[in-house]
Amino acid sequence: MSGPARARIVVTGIVQGVAYRASAQAEAVRLGLAGWVRNRPDGRVEALAEGPRARVESLVAWCWRGPPLARVSDVEVAWEEPRGEPEGFRIAGW
């Protein structure tokens, strides 16, 4: 059993326009995480995920693969202190 974890994940590559954001949200929901995912103006995708550490790590691993059309070149992960992110996972605005 793993304790709570929170990670800010920024994905670089061909990740916008290939359903990456919606696929990342679906994976986070499947894993039972709280947080959000959004497209950034610089062409990258950013997510904040909170939940059991093993599940957050699973989302990070998924981010390297992404949906079939994505071409991920880098995944930056910044671990943060868990803050009790509200339940659920959502697509955030700019």
Asked whether residue 89 is assigned to any structural domain, the reply reads no
In a domain, 88, yes or no: no
On the CB side of 51, how many CA atoms lie within 13 Å of its CA?
21
What Å distances lie between residue 50 and 8, 18, 39, 69, CA to CA? 9, 24, 19, 26
Report yes or no on 48 lying in a domain: yes
Domain that holds residue 28: 4-83
Confidence at residue 10, expressed as pLDDT on a 0 to 100 scale: 98
- The catalytic position among 6, 8, 21, 65 is 21
Exactly one of 30, 38, 39, 65 is catalytic; which is it? 39
Question: Is residue 61 in a domain?
Answer: yes
Q: How many domains does the chain have?
A: 1
Q: What is the CATH number of the domain that holds 15?
A: 3.30.70.100
User: For this structure, is 21 an active site residue?
Assistant: yes
Is 39 one of the annotated active-site residues of the chain? yes
pLDDT along the chain (94 residues), means of 10: 88 93 94 94 96 96 94 97 84 64
pTM: 0.91
What is the number of residues in the chain? 94
Q: Which amino acid is at 93?
A: G
